[in-house]
Amino acid sequence: MQVSRYKVDEIIKSTHGKIFSCEFIKKDGSIRKMVARLGVAKNLKGGKNGASVKNSLITVWDMVAGGYRMINLSTLTALKVAGVTYKVV
């Protein structure tokens, strides 16, 4: 199923902390696949979160690496939520 980049933000936020997977292009040009979830409060130290809708970044918990990561929605290529695979165009 194809979906626009604007709709991807709503789909990720609608997971409400459930696990999803995504694929995106990193800053160095390599492709990264990630299994992640929202709403994890483990290991918070305070400080400022640089993510915002304006710069199209979402902070997620990487399930494999066990740490917080940022997903850039403008470089997202694929998303899988609840068994449904979305191709981002």
**Confidence at residue 4, expressed as pLDDT on a 0 to 100 scale:** 85
**Confidence at residue 48, expressed as pLDDT on a 0 to 100 scale:** 60
- Count of structural domains within the chain: 1
Rounded-to-integer distance, Cα 51 and Cα 55, Å: 7
Residue 46 lies in a domain: no
Q: Is residue 32 within 8 Å of 24, Cβ to Cβ?
A: yes
Give residue 42's identity as a one-letter amino acid code.
K
Residue 67 lies in a domain: yes
Residue 34 lies in a domain: yes
Tokens of 49: 């979160």
Which residues span the domain enclosing 14?
2-40+52-88
**Along the 89 residues of the chain, how does pLDDT read in single tens digits?**
898 878 888 898 888 889 999 999 998 999 999 999 988 777 766 666 656 556 788 888 999 998 888 888 889 999 999 999 999 88
Task: Mark residue 56 as left, alpha or beta (left: phi above 0; alpha: psi -120 to 50; beta: remaining).
Answer: left
Residue 18 lies in a domain: yes
Rounded-to-integer distance, Cα 83 and Cα 62, Å: 18
CATH number of the domain enclosing 82: 2.30.30
pTM: 0.80
Q: Is residue 23 within 8 Å of 77, Cβ to Cβ?
A: yes
